[in-house]
């Protein structure tokens, strides 16, 4: 007595469903693990001590350590605001790591500073730094010594007056501006 092919197909269906569920579950576990690994790696490589591991930037980390901004992590100044800015900067950092390990370090290193990051901290928009001077107030302990109203109104770059606030020039790498 030959078995009905329809019966054989019905028996395979639970097995196929079970295998599909396993594949989906394993895929989700792998994706979550990769995302966690990437997040931890991005956090670790965003710390000043990691930046200090490259000899060409270590004098700048040393100057930052003695500056008034020594409690501000590197990417708070050297990345654009938001998650996209953070991830974009991390991807550019991979290129810098490549240049370091292939000994293709540029003669002049041009740091990228987004002035909006200064404004975020110094207008009270970044609650992570509650003791930062607030350039929008005129009096009180959080007020700067000089009014910044003109600079804010006219979009004057913070670097015009505060270029060396985070990295005093006597400590910087030669060629770094």
CA angle in degrees (0–180, nearest 5) for 107-112-117:
160
The pLDDT, as a whole number, for residue 22 is 92
pLDDT at site 82 = 85
45: pLDDT strictly greater than 90: no
Exposure string over 11-47, b if 16+ CB within 10 A, otherwise e: eeeeeeeeeeeeeeeeeeeeeeeeeeeeeeeeeebbe
Quick one: pLDDT at residue 8? 52
Does residue 163 register a pLDDT over 70? yes
Instruction: Give 126 or 20, the one with higher predicted confidence.
Output: 20
Q: Mean pLDDT check: name the lowest of 12-21, 36-45, 79-88, 117-126.
A: 12-21
What's the Cα-to-Cα distance from 134 to each of 16, 87, 88, 114, 123, rounded to whole Å? Answer: 62, 28, 28, 18, 5
Please say if the pLDDT value at position 5 is more than 80: no
Residue 68 pLDDT > 70, yes or no? yes
State residue 123's pLDDT score.
87
Report pLDDT digits (tens) over 142-159: 888 888 989 989 989 998
Q: How many residues does the structure list for the chain?
A: 177
**CA-only gyration radius of the chain, Å:** 26
């Amino acid at each position: 007595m030959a078995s009905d092919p329809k019966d054989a197909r019905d028996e395979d269906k639970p097995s196929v469903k079970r295998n599909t569920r396993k594949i989906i579950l394993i895929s989700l576990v792998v994706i979550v693990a990769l995302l966690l690994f990437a997040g931890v790696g991005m956090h670790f490589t965003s710390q000043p001590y990691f930046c200090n591991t490259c000899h060409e930037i270590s004098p700048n980390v040393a100057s930052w350590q003695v500056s008034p901004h020594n409690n501000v992590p590197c990417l708070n100044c050297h990345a654009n605001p938001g998650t996209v800015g953070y991830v974009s900067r991390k991807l550019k950092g991979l290129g810098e790591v490549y240049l370091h390990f292939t000994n293709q370090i540029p003669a002049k290193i041009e740091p990228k500073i987004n002035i909006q990051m200064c404004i975020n901290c110094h207008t009270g928009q970044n609650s992570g730094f509650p003791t930062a001077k607030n350039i929008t107030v005129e009096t009180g302990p959080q007020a700067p010594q000089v009014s910044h109203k003109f600079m804010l109104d006219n979009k004057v770059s913070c670097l015009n007056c505060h270029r060396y606030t985070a990295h005093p020039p006597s400590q910087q790498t030669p060629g770094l501006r």
